[in-house]
Amino acid sequence: MRLLSVSIGSCSIAFRSALRSRTRLVRVSDLLAIFGSAESDDEVLDEIAAWQPDRVTVLVQSLGADLGDDAIRERLARLLTAIERRTDAVVVGLAGDRSQLVGWRFDRELAPRLPLAA
């Protein structure tokens, strides 16, 4: 028990209080934001801003589109700028699919909701 109290004493105040009260820390440090169609961009941007992450990795899924396409690059640049302005987070981005990120660790993943079948 003495070892635990020494370890807790060297942690940040927010972390110590979360340990004592057994609550979760609200802030997310590393977030993956997956963007599909452009219609859902605002929804995902609002969710990102609500989490206030320290770092955001943006994945623009290119559904069969040419990855060298100017429209994809412009959209990615627009998204990176919007996220950085809303969150003050470090933002990186790529276009492609989720398989490019195999082995990467994220605290949370955000993606647009899929439409329900009628």
Residue 50 and residue 53: Cα distance in Å, rounded?
A: 9
Tens-digit pLDDT profile for residues 98-112 = 888 999 999 999 987
Give the length of the chain: 118
Residue type, 100: Q
Tens-digit pLDDT profile for residues 82-95 = 999 999 999 999 98
pLDDT for the residue numbered 5:
47
Contact 57, 84 (CB under 8 A): no
Sheet holding 55-61, edge to edge: 90-96, 55-61, 30-35, 108-110
Domain 27-110, CATH class in plain words: alpha beta
Q: Where are the domains of the chain?
A: 27-110
